[in-house]
Amino acid sequence: MKTLRALAALLLYPTRELVDALDEIRGVIDREAVVPAAERAALHRLIDDLATGDLYDRQESYGLLFDRTRSLSLHLFEHVHGESRDRGQAMVDLLKLYEEAGYTPTASELPDFLPLFLEFASTRAPREAVDLAGQPANVIAALRERLAKRQSPYQAVMAALLSISKARLDARALEALRAEPDPEPDDLAALDAAWVEQEVTFGPGAARDSCPVDRMAERLRVATPGYAGARP
């Protein structure tokens, strides 16, 4: 599904190369039309914003949102494991999933980086791609809410992903994600405090399998059994 690749590109750090590709990205989203009209219109506004704004301003805004603020991190396991040792094993499991699918990431990013995950999903058959896109739906929903609170046009990408996947959200998991500290990027003291928070759990004594994101690699493996013949 090329739309997932297009959405992945929109979540990357703004570069001149990305700006030059925006017309192509818009065309892919419109031609496949798997995103509903209202969400497509919001994506057009994001694309217009990236295309017409000052590149350095867009880069600074991106860094403040996604690199500086933990609650808006585009690394999926950040929202579940934090800096705990479990995060490392989750990374290994997800990377193994990619390798078993015959997918070799070209970016030097961690395997749980959302644009990289979407790039992987885009290589699958449509039904599998939709299922994959829905696996981290709770995190994506929390990101959409936080971006909307900041009136960021990037919320359009999260809304589009939720529309494509139609995934059922887990109310308890989503509430736990909402309870994470969500400081503004210019509140340095609150940012420091957020970065040293313990890993996220979902209620007293929550089991490992109580969180859909926490067991994402296992769920993906079961959901898409035909990985061996996948193309990179």
Please give the share of the chain, as a percent, with pLDDT higher than 70.
74
Amino acid identity for residue 64 in this structure:
L
Phi–psi pair at 116, nearest 5 degrees? -70, -45
Tokens of 30: 């419109």
H or E, element range at 111: none
Q: How far is CA 81 from the centre of its chain?
A: 15
Model confidence over 83-139: pLDDT tens digits? 556 667 777 888 888 888 888 877 678 888 999 999 999 999 999 999 999 989 999
Average pLDDT over residues 13-41: 96
- Residue indicated by tokens 């914003």: 49
Phi–psi pair at 75, nearest 5 degrees? -95, 110
Taking all residues of the chain, what is their mean pLDDT, rounded to a whole number?
A: 79
Dist. CA 157–CA 44, nearest whole Å = 10
Q: How far is CA 15 from the centre of its chain?
A: 19
pLDDT score recorded for residue 15: 95
CB 232 within 8 A of CB 104: yes
C-alpha pair distances (Å), 149 with each of 136, 139, 224, 231: 20, 15, 35, 39
Tokens of 160: 């589009």
Dist. CA 39–CA 86, nearest whole Å = 35
Reduced to 3 states (helix: H, G, I; strand: E, B; else coil), residue 3 is helix
Residue 173 has pLDDT above 90, yes or no: no
Average pLDDT over residues 34-45: 96
pLDDT score recorded for residue 143: 95
pLDDT score recorded for residue 186: 58
Dist. CA 111–CA 201, nearest whole Å = 22
CB 188 within 8 A of CB 108: no
